[in-house]
Structure 1
Amino acid sequence: MTAYKDLSREELKQLKDSLEKKFAQIKAKGLKMDMSRGKPSAEQLNLSMGMLDVLDSSSTMFCENGIDCRNYGALDGIPEAKKLLADMMEVSPDNVIVFGNSSLNIMYDTVARSMTHGVMGSTPWCKLDKIKFLCPVPGYDRHFGITEHFGIEMILIPMSEDGPDMDMVEELASTDAAVKGIWCVPKYSNPQGITYSDETVRRFANLKPAAEDFRIYWDNAYGVHHLYEDRQDQLLEILEECKKAGNPDMVYKFSSTSKISFSGSGLAALAASKANLKDVSSTMKMQTIGHDKINQLRHVKFFKDLEGIHAHMRKHAEIIRPKFEAVLTTLENELGGLEIGSWIAPRGGYFISFDALEGCAKAIVAKAKEAGLVMTGAGATYPYGKDPHDSNIRIAPTYPTLEELKEATEIFVLSVKLISVDKLLGNI
């Protein structure tokens, strides 16, 4: 294909006329499709329906240490659930607290607790003049939403194929005591699908932050969400690396079964050093007398062990892999060689990250909406919703059916072409 930038002005005008005719035809279909969030499809959720049958009125509700799951107690989770999630998170059960259904809730509470009560005896953040967080970009909009909600200043850290720019991370963390943390999605990152390299993880573990209460917010949301069996993207375990580096307390590691079992009714957990967990528990015991232990027991009986989770995730992959491949094939067939966009083919996770020509992302998303396709808002993958290049777009392929996805991708690539032509013609 000839790159659009190599076309003459007259050729671009002719191309625009042709593309607009195609767009009008698709728009006339009156389609309504939503790819705005990375939600599991109904077919994926159906995989866990058996979980509703593992407990009934005749089931024993006692766990292995004799706790009655119907009653109060087990603030940090029942032993079986702690082991299951610890195995999934590659840590010891002694380093895990099992919470409710949402890891985002745990992250919010962790920031809130730091604001009101400080971290392990340090000054509460609300009493300090300035608090800053490092934010690898593009990244997860809900992370940025939490820090913005608390008035925390966010500093953009560019991502590379190995993870965040560690030169910047090391410089900012070591020289500015106002920098209290960094958001990380270390495996199959949201939205790029990047897995941090061994060197990146070790550099994180060896940070020498100026703030004693600096923490790495390690949101390993997609740790078992492989699209392919080879699992080439191996990730070093951060708690162990921090311990080796003499920084055992520097990380909070989050995970959940939100996209493994039921999105609204899964299990979430925090893994950290025993000192950190003691600090967390001191506030937690004021919040609750225990989370939903029946749901914890239900998950344990359904999955049984880590291999049960892996077997379950292979079923997920069989459903969503064709969707990812359909989008990637269309992107390559329709946009390859035109030099109007670039993308990364992920090995796991829930998203495909697309970078349009600078200044085009908002216009592309708006154009797609004209034809009935709702996508994640342009800018959402950056703090404050402001992409300085207005180029990144997050594609979420999991929720639509395969047929819907093919139509949605057709709308998307057509929108990319139309807006890119306008950009090159000087109309944007």
Structure 2
Amino acid sequence: MTTTATPLSSLSADELAARLTTVRAAYDELKARDLKLDLTRGKPGSDQLDLSNALLDLPSTYRDRSGTDVRNYGGLDGLPELREIFADLLGVDAADVVAGGSSSLTMMHQVLTSLLLKGGPDSPRPWSQEPVVKFICAVPGYDRHFMMLAELGIEMVTVPMNADGPDVAAVRALVDDPSVKGMWLVPTYANPTGSVVSPEVAAELMAMPTAAPDFRILWDNAYGVHHLTDEETKSADALGLAAASGHPNRPIVFASTSKITFAGAGVAALAASPENRAWYLQRLGFAAIGPDKVNHLRHVEFFGDADGVRAHMRKHRELIAPKFAAVDEALTSRLAGLGIAEWTVPTGGYFVNLDVVDGTASRVVQLAKEAGIVLTPAGSAFPHGKDPRDRNIRLAPTFPSLAEVQTAMAGVAVCVELAALEKLTA
């Protein structure tokens, strides 16, 4: 069913009732198909994972370029060759990089728990000794960031996420409070909006005065090389901007290959100022003697260098860009002009951000589930899963096949319109 360009809000009561009857019939047909489709998580598809199967036959040796046996203990900061690859991708010095295990989320958790237990190098006291600890969260944002803060007892305050990054004026107003100790930020192709933090916004965030002397920006560059077009946007230079503004310890940068090679067996990295890096390694030294350098060497052999990573990601783009195009095509063909939905057309990352009529996102998700299409719960992109407007839905098109994405999104569009009509005719 292709929509007209007439906004639903301009239809008469009789016209709305007639349209509701038509859309309900379309929804009943959708339910009768007994679909079983899942768009809940931003996971790589099997065909994407297949691109890295050569890793299973690597490494071809057990010595790095210096002759060190990678099977043994040591090298807490990771294999130098891998640190150089991450440094090139992140636009930092290799000396600032720590290459770790398979999960950057684990490294983020280590940083936060260390700040709580011990404080940072510029902390007056451990964060756990503060009466209250708060974090700024740009919304819509990454649910796992919010879940981690909630689990650690850190309060969350929100600011809007704009196309060029978080609302700087809103951030400035919050950092006057000394209990506000930090903020999360996905700088490039943010989850779920696809926003890219501009160099200007990044510079303001790094330079702004904060009441907390140990204010941290956890700069999660999870999608920095996950381009969907020929225009490969570079992330702002967080470490360089912070150092130039006199706040070198403010950002801690994270990245991983979780959506580049194998999601459960990749490699992660952290980049930070010399003082932050020494602080992190000191804390880490009580928990580990060294990372999995065999896996480090495996990835170094597989990629060769940072250009090898970039070439590999172009293969990913060939597989997933059509799925993102299918999301836009389905929503445009069925919802454009109705005035009931807005969605992003990202140039990178793993998600499409869908905003529907206020108060209907939960209903859309329910309708979709009853029709066999499982979506991420409404509000998941907000702290504690509570979207005050109940309008936001995160779409994750990478894992299903292209045909499944096309089928699922056609169904989602029906659910969006049905929920809107139900509200307009209530």
For this structure pair, what is the TM-score category when the shorter chain's length is used for normalisation? over 0.9
Among residues 138, 143, 146, which one is paired with 1:144 in the alignment? 146
Aligned match of 2:190: 189
How far is 1:235 from its partner? Answer: 2.8
Alignment of 1:17-416 (within 5 A): 17-55=21-59, 59-120=60-121, 122=123, 123-173=125-175, 175-231=176-232, 233-416=233-416
1:163, distance to aligned residue in structure 2 (A): 0.9
- Give the paired residue count: 421
Of 81-90 and 321-330, deviating more is 81-90
* Whole-angstrom CA distance in 1 between matches of 2:61 and 2:255: 28
- CA–CA distance in 1 between the matches of 2:234 and 2:120? 31
Q: Distance in 2 between matches of 1:205 and 1:65?
A: 37
Structure 1 position 54, deviation (Å): 2.8
Aligned to 1:6: 10
CA offsets per residue over residues 200-226 of structure 1, 9 Å max, x none?
011012121111111001001111000
CA apart distance, 1:64: 1.8
Q: CA deviation at 1:66?
A: 2.7
Cα distance in 2 for residues equivalent to 1:95 and 1:422: 55
Q: Deviations over 1:317-366 (max 9, x none)?
A: 00000000011011111110000000111000000001001101111011
Q: Percent identity?
A: 44
1:37 aligned counterpart, secondary structure: coil
Query: Per-residue deviation at 1:121?
Result: 5.5
Q: Give a deviation string over 1:185-241, Cα, whole Å, max 9, x none.
A: 01001001010112101101212111111100100111100001122x343211011
Bigger shift: residues 82-91 or 380-389: 82-91
Letter in 2 for 1:5: S
Contact 2:256 2:266 in 1 (8 A): yes
AA of the residue aligned to 2:167: D
Gaps of at least 5 residues in structure 1 are none
Counterpart residue identity of residue 392, structure 2 = N
Amino acid at match of 1:16: L
Tell me the TM-score normalized by structure 2: 0.97
- Pairs within 5 Å for 1:414-425: 414-425=414-425
Q: Distance in 2 between matches of 1:366 and 1:291?
A: 43
User: In 2, distance between residues paired with 1:373 and 1:67?
Assistant: 51
Output the CA distance in 1 between the equivalents of 2:242 and 2:184: 16
* Alpha-carbon distance in 2 for matches of 1:91, 1:25: 54
Q: Distance in 2 between matches of 1:380 and 1:86?
A: 32
2-structure distance, mates of 1:21, 1:356: 21
Moved more, 287-296 or 15-24: 15-24
Q: Tell me how far apart the structure 2 counterparts of residues 271 and 297 of structure 1 sit (CA, whole Å).
A: 19
1:60, distance to aligned residue in structure 2 (A): 2.3
User: Which AA in structure 2 matches 1:245?
Assistant: S
CA distance in 2, matches of 1:236, 1:133: 21
CA distance in 2, matches of 1:353, 1:140: 12
Task: Select between 60-69 and 105-114 the one with higher mean Cα deviation.
Answer: 60-69
Distance 1:126 1:205 in 2: 24
1:5-40 Cα shifts (integer Å, max 9, x gaps): 011111111111111111111111111111100000
Question: What is the deviation of 1:65?
Answer: 2.5
8 Å CA contact 2:187–2:195 kept in 1: the answer is yes
Per-residue Cα deviation, 1:28-56 (whole angstroms, up to 9, x for no partner): 1111111100000000000000111232x
Which stretches in structure 2 are left out of the alignment for 5+ residues?
Answer: none
Q: Contact conserved, 2:249 with 2:275, CA < 8 A, in 1?
A: yes
Paired with 2:313 and 2:392, the residues of 1 have a C-alpha distance of 29
Shift of 1:127: 1.1
The SS at the match of 2:108 is helix
Q: Letter of the 1:287 partner, please give it.
A: A
Quick check: 1:65–1:79 contact (8 Å CA) kept in 2? no
Q: Distance in 2 between matches of 1:214 and 1:297?
A: 35
Query: 1:4 and 1:409 mapped to 2: Cα distance?
Result: 20
Query: What is the distance in 1 between the residues matched to 2:122 and 2:78?
Result: 25
Q: Shift in Å at residue 149 of structure 1?
A: 0.6
Q: How far, CA to CA, are the matches of 2:156 and 2:61 in structure 1?
A: 49
TM-score by length of 1: 0.97
CA distance in 1, matches of 2:88, 2:17: 58
Per the alignment, in what secondary structure is the counterpart of residue 286 of structure 1? coil
